[in-house]
Structure 1
Amino acid sequence: MTRIDWGKGTYESTAADLLPAARELVDAARIKPGEHVVDVGAGTGNVALVAADLGARVTAVEPAARLREVIQESAGARDLTVVDGTAAELPLADASADVILSNFAVIFAPDPRAAIAEFARVATSRVLLTSWLPGPMDKVVGVLAGAVREITGSGEAMEGQIDWHDPAVLAELFGQHGFELTATVKDLAMTAASPEDYWETRLANHPLGVATLPLLEQAGRLTDVRTRVIDAIGNWTTPSGQVSIPSQYLLATATR
């Protein structure tokens, strides 16, 4: 399986798409001023910055060095600390956070059960996360992922992975640590100026694209895959020529 360096490429474009979900996540957490909020897989800091603006004391945990710099540059005078770490190895003491948030991040954890156990170790009251539901984007990403599997002979679901979008699965795993889970489905449209623009700004320059497109190019498959992906994206072209891909995600809240 291709390893993704989330600091490569321009994740900033994708982060901008996910900002509405970050705001929904923070709003659902009902953060009070002075609470310690931990944003796991903070990316460019969408969640961390919004939470800090509510008066929270925020720790942004992000493994990619470049993205940590992006967050730090945006932090300003906010009460926001940026640290290196992963979902399964949080550099924080037991019961040191009131809230843990993760916006489309912990879903990439290599060991989901270890990540949930770590969240339970650090969080005293609640954990909130977002995860994608199956939908139109699967068709788009599926073209790319399928071609990579054909080339590498790998890419199947790894042992130990879970369906992060399934409330029953999350309820069982969080329940093992004394949490009760509630969940709701939210809508989020992924937009771009055109199908070609979506390819360039959201796929080719996304950390996943940076990791996988060279493999396709070396195999002589890149042009074909690009054409197929753009054709698939074209199914959601609006009359104005823009792209608006309807997507849904799960917002899960675990409390104890």
Structure 2
Amino acid sequence: MAIDWGVGRYEATGELLAPVSEVVVELAGPLTGRSVLDVGCGTGNAALAAAARGAVVTGVDPASRLLEVAAGRAAERGLEIEFVVGDAAAIPVKDQSAELVISIFAVIFAPDPAAAVAELTRVVAPDGQIIITDWLPGGALTVINGTAAKFMGEVLGGPAPKSAPASLAWHNAEALRAAFAPYGFSVEVEERSLVFEEASAEEYLEQSAQHPMAVSADRALSQRPDAEELRAELKSRLLAAAESVNEDPEGFRVTVGYTIATIRRS
């Protein structure tokens, strides 16, 4: 199932993930006058956070609609940021041009991770660093998103395309070291956590339904003659999954783990 990141309303998800961008930008150290590249910038969280700290920022994303949202947010804050359409397999910037390359839960979705690794190492400056975040497997998001993925697999069926590139465990230090070492880079990974809260599990799922992945899945279901029955079954399964990981009996709260990988030349 193809995912169009420009559909739906990723803005809602962006609001939930904003704290992670702040953490990463703060970890990167002083940014005044430094060149920063935000790969998969989405609605601009990390790009805006870096620009607010005095960085010279470029944001790249394959979804032009999200770039328009990000540019509008930058204008509201009086921040000058260059936003460019592009993806991780062909980042439209010069070699070694970014002192800091950031990707907040973005490059982890690259269809060709090997090409993404090659591009990230190409664009980072000799003394620069790459910082990538990924979700830790096995937590609440794995349960909820895995439920949706399993259901869609049951509905759509069929084997995965044989031509699909091998995935990369962007959260795993050893996997990242194996991927980046051939380019002369070392990797450090640390774990953090983020809390998602809503008034109820139902409200959380309503917000999640605006995510491009969910919208893309719904479009796929809409092609089926039994679309309404399938939607109802998916909603039921997702609600059961969300309630199974809920930490707050009076509302909805889940704590999700994520990793921050910092990658530098050895």
TM-score relative to the length of structure 1: 0.94
Provide, for residues 47-77 of structure 1, a one-character-per-residue CA deviation record: whole Å limited to 9, x for no partner.
0000000100000001111101001111123
User: 2:181 is matched with which residue?
Assistant: 175
- Worse-matched range after superposition: 171-180 or 108-117: 171-180
Q: Distance in 1 between matches of 2:62 and 2:219?
A: 23
Alignment-derived partner of residue 127 in structure 1: 130
Aligned twin of 1:82: 83
Distance 1:163 1:156, change over 3 A: farther
1:118, distance to aligned residue in structure 2 (A):
0.4
Please give the alpha-carbon distance, in whole angstroms, between the structure 1 residues aligned to 2:65 and 2:25.
24
- Judge which range, 136-145 or 32-41, deviates more: 136-145
Aligned partners of 2:57 and 2:83: how far apart in 1? 9
Map of 1:238 onto structure 2: 248
Identity of paired residues, percent? 38
Corresponding residue pairs, total: 253
Query: After superposition, what is the alpha-carbon deviation per residue over 1:155-175, rounded to whole angstroms, capped at 9, x for unaligned?
Result: 759441111111101012111
Segment of structure 1 superposing worse, 171-180 or 245-254: 171-180
SS in 1 for 2:88: coil
Q: CA deviation at 1:24?
A: 1.1
- Alignment of 1:164 onto 2:165: no
**Aligned equivalents of 1:136 and 1:53: distance in 2?**
32
**Which residue of structure 2 aligns with residue 7 of structure 1?**
6
TM-score w.r.t. the length of structure 2 is 0.91
Work out which of the residue numbers 204, 208, 214 in structure 2 matches 1:209: 214
- Measured in 1, the distance between the counterparts of 2:257 and 2:247 equals 18
Closer/same/farther in 2, CA of residues 142 and 75 from structure 1, 3 Å limit: same
User: 1:221 is paired with a residue of what secondary structure?
Assistant: helix
Change (3 A) 1:50 1:115: same
The C-alpha deviation readout for 1:122-165, integer Å capped at 9, x for no partner, is: 10111000000111211111111111111111475944111111
The question of whether the paired residues in 2 share the 8 Å contact of 1:147 and 1:216 is answered with: no
1:240 positional shift: 2.7
| Structure 2 counterpart SS, 1:172 | helix
Report the secondary structure of 2:259's partner residue: strand
2:263 aligned residue: 254
Partner of 1:98: 99
Distance in 2 separating the partners of 1:240 and 1:24 = 29
1:144 paired to 2:153: no
Q: Which ranges of structure 1 fall in alignment gaps of 5 or more residues?
A: none
Q: State the alpha-carbon separation in 2 of the partners of residues 18 and 95 from structure 1.
A: 28
| Residue equivalent to 1:225 | 234
Structure 1 range deviating more: 146-155 or 124-133: 146-155
- Paired amino acid for 1:126: Q
Q: Is the 8 Å Cα contact of residues 134 and 260 (structure 2) preserved in structure 1?
A: yes
SS of 1:176's equivalent in the other structure is helix
Instruction: Determine the C-alpha separation between the residues in 2 that align with 1:49 and 1:156.
Output: 37
The amino acid that maps onto 2:168 is I
Q: Secondary structure at the match of 1:19?
A: helix
C-alpha distance in structure 2 between counterparts of 1:44 and 1:154, whole Å: 34
Distance 1:171-1:211 versus aligned 2 partners, 3 A rule: same
